[in-house]
């Protein structure tokens, strides 16, 4: 053997060993760092590793695969480690803050949000966060120094890097798509893919593994019992029921008996951003009632509690439930139907009312791209959608367009239309954050007393001020239509409770919940943080309304159709049955007609809930069997060819 080949071979071997050791060690350290950031505690991270060594190894395998993929592209071990550290650290910080703010971890589909993604920069205020950031920056500085010093000694061929990159990509895809060998490794490690409780999933399995396993949850699997025969049987049960078709009587003001209106009433849904009743916080008091209109209407008109599938965010999911009559309970936790599943025509309240001779319009005082509403509203059968761009010189109050602009827009649309109008309006004025006590030009006129920190008190006063403005916009609508000869029905509610501090801080200080960790909550506490007040109002004498104490957002459409004496069809017909049998149905919680709470479906309602699950799959992902067996034109209604053309014409005229 040539003497010169031995040293060269040894050099290559030494270089390979160094690169391999560096990548292996870096993978292990990256996994620890990710969990440290994500969990907020290094000691908690180390304790998790001791309890779950095999699961930690899988997290290290995923971080290592990502690292090797970067190495194959960059060609420098040190720069690859730096790039992987930045990417994984950003993921961990987003996961940490998202979990603290809204009780949900970071999901693969959150990446689709683009502009709607979380900006965690302003949240870096604590000493622990600054320490983590300092460690990351110091490590990056060291890596850049090593790259400059050792770059020429650690170069390898692009062929070798290409092979490594292909293998690492295959590993990542295998775990994401759950191919057989990866599924076996996951099972042997004792992983419990708890999709029904994603926070528990991430806590048990680690951020990287839980995030990767969630890739497969972007698609909803077909139920085993889904078939044409099953849907035919379900449809037969729906069409066998009879529902009233009476048109409500208009409430005259001259003392005469109410007379039937000449046309169907306008129907207005108002989903007020983060609207909630802050006076429900028992350990605090307000200098004045911030929501007097809500309380007045609750005393005089049918009202109750709407059970929301969300807390602190995810407005579009609440909107999806109300408009479609479908439930987030049957979808992967953390999914966003507007971004993932509405890829074609989906029957909704908008298409239902269109088939009944109504015009349908969506209104929102924010950007049309937000949650992809502009495209989704078309697929839901709306005639038009008016976003922020549709408002000419709108009034702002604080950070966003005022709720009064929404009220005025609703009034304008109804007053100028010859046909009855269905409107779904979504406000923006009271959107988070609430940390700036000088947010509103008028200042905070509601003072809070109670055992709260100054920061929490300022936050609650700012929130109460915003809730008051929303309450006054509702009053503006009621007062207008009380004097109008246009029969109009209004249902008003919020989308979710507001985020008031990390780890539910204000709610804990006010005694609303005892812990900042959802896993520790009782069913009553869980329900409290999902319970939104709703009120209805009409300027005519509606048929006797079915009074409910609690109703899920997905059943609100059925409830309103029943109230108006209009025949519920398709999923709304099934919803009409469901809210009488299981009025509250969200993930991890059901409420029976007596108000009893449970994690499981009430006895006797299991078959009905299973039908609901099958119907939802059929509409969103299946073969639309229901539309073949039920005579309901809205089930097959295509998006309107003139979508948004009328709204554009109005804007040009203005």
In the chain the domains, ranked by start, together with CATH numbers, are 5-218 (no CATH), 228-653 (3.40.720.10)
Q: Mind listing the pLDDT tens digit for each residue in 407-432?
A: 999 999 999 999 999 999 999 999 99
pLDDT of residue 306 exceeding 60:
yes
Q: Mind listing the pLDDT tens digit for each residue in 475-489?
A: 999 999 999 999 999
- What is the model's pLDDT at position 245? 41
Average pLDDT for residues 573-596, to the nearest whole number? 94
pLDDT of residue 393 exceeding 90:
yes
Query: If pLDDT is split at 50, 70 and 90, which confidence band does 108 have?
Result: confident
How far is the C-alpha of 41 from the C-alpha of 38, rounded, in Å? 8
pLDDT of residue 172 exceeding 90:
no
- Nearest-Å Rg of the Cα atoms of the chain is 28
Average pLDDT for residues 508-520, to the nearest whole number? 89
Average pLDDT for residues 271-282, to the nearest whole number? 96
- What is the model's pLDDT at position 427? 97
Q: Provide, rounded to the nearest whole percent, the portion of the chain with pLDDT above 90.
A: 54
Q: Mind listing the pLDDT tens digit for each residue in 21-70?
A: 777 888 888 889 889 888 888 899 999 999 999 999 999 999 988 888 88
- Please provide the average confidence, as pLDDT, over all residues in the chain: 85
Phi/psi region, residue 335 (left: phi>0; alpha: psi -120 to 50; beta: rest), is beta
Average pLDDT for residues 520-536, to the nearest whole number? 95
SS (H, E, C) 431-454: CCCCCCCCCCCCCCCCCEEECCCH
Global confidence as pTM: 0.78
Highest mean pLDDT among 58-62, 143-147, 335-339: 58-62
Decide if 139 contacts 26 (C-beta within 8 A).
no
Q: What's CA 562's distance to the chain center, in Å?
A: 27
Which range is least confidently modeled, 61-70, 432-441, 580-589, 642-651?
642-651
Any residues with CB less than 8 A from the CB of 600 and at least 6 apart, and which?
A: 590
More confident call, 645 vs 634: 634
Give the closest residue to 80 by CA, choosing from 88, 68, 62, 94: 68
More confident call, 644 vs 199: 644
Q: Provide, rounded to the nearest whole percent, the portion of the chain with pLDDT above 70.
A: 83
């Amino acid at each position: 053997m040539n003497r010169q080949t031995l040293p060269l071979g040894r050099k290559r071997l030494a270089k390979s060993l160094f690169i391999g050791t560096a990548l292996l060690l870096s993978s292990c350290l990256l996994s620890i760092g990710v969990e440290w950031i994500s969990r907020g505690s290094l000691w908690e991270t180390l304790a998790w590793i001791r309890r779950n060594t095999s699961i930690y190894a899988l997290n290290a395998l995923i971080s290592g695969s990502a690292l090797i993929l970067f190495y194959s592209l960059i060609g420098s071990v040190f720069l690859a480690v730096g790039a992987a550290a930045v990417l994984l650290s950003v993921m961990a910080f987003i996961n940490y803050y998202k979990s603290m703010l809204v009780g949900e971890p970071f999901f693969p589909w959150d990446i689709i949000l683009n502009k709607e993604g979380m900006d965690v920069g302003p949240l870096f205020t604590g000493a622990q966060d600054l320490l983590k950031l300092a460690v990351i920056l110091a490590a990056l500085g060291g890596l850049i120094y090593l790259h400059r010093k050792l770059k020429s000694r650690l170069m390898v061929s692009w062929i070798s890097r290409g092979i490594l990159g292909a293998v690492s990509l295959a590993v990542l895809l295998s775990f994401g798509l759950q191919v057989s060998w990866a599924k076996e490794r996951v099972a042997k490690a004792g992983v419990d893919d708890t999709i029904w409780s994603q926070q528990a999933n991430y806590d048990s399995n680690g951020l990287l593994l839980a995030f990767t396993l969630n890739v497969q949850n972007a698609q909803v699997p077909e139920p085993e019992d889904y078939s044409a025969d099953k849907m035919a049987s379900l449809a037969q049960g729906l069409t066998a029921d009879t529902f009233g078709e009476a048109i409500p009587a208009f409430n005259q003001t001259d003392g005469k008996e109410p007379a039937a209106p000449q046309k169907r009433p306008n129907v207005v849904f108002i989903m007020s951003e983060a609207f909630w009743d802050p006076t429900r916080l028992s350990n605090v008091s307000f200098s004045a009632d911030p929501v007097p209109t809500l309380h007045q209407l609750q005393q005089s008109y049918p009202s109750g509690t709407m059970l929301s599938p969300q807390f602190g965010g995810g407005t579009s999911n609440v909107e999806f439930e109300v408009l479609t009559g479908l439930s987030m309970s049957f979808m992967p936790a953390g999914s966003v139907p507007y971004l993932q599943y509405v890829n074609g025509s989906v029957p909704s309240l908008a298409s239902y009312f269109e088939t009944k001779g109504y015009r349908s319009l969506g209104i929102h005082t924010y950007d049309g791209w937000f949650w992809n509403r502009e495209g989704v509203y078309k697929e839901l059968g709306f005639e038009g959608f008016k976003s922020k761009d549709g408002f000419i010189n709108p009034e702002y109050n604080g950070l966003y367009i005022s709720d009064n602009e929404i009220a005025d827009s609703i009034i304008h649309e109804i007053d100028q239309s010859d046909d009855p109008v269905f409107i779904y309006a979504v406000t923006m004025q009271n959107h988070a954050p609430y940390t700036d006590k000088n947010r509103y030009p008028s200042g905070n006129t509601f003072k809070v007393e109670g055992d709260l920190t100054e920061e929490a008190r300022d936050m609650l006063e700012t929130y109460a001020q915003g809730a008051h403005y929303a309450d006054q916009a509702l009053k503006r609508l009621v007062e207008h239509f009380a004097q109008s000869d246009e029969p109009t029905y209004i249902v008003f509610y919020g989308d979710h409770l507001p985020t008031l501090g990390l780890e539910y801080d204000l709610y804990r200080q006010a005694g609303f919940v005892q812990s900042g960790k959802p896993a520790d909550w009782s069913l009553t506490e869980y329900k409290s943080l999902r319970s939104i007040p709703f009120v209805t109002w009409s300027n005519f004498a509606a048929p006797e309304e079915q009074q409910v104490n609690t109703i899920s957002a997905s059943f609100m459409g059925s409830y309103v159709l029943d109230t108006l004496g209009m025949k519920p069809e398709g999923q709304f017909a099934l919803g009409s049955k469901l809210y009488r049998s299981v009025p509250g149905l969200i993930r991890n919680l059901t409420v029976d007609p007596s108000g009893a709470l449970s994690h499981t479906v009430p006895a006797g309602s299991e078959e009905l809930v299973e039908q609901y699950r099958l119907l939802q799959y059929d509409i969103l992902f299946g073969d639309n069997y229901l539309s073949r067996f039920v005579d309901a034109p809205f089930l097959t209604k295509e998006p309107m060819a003139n979508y948004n053309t009328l709204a554009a014409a109005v804007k040009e005229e203005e």
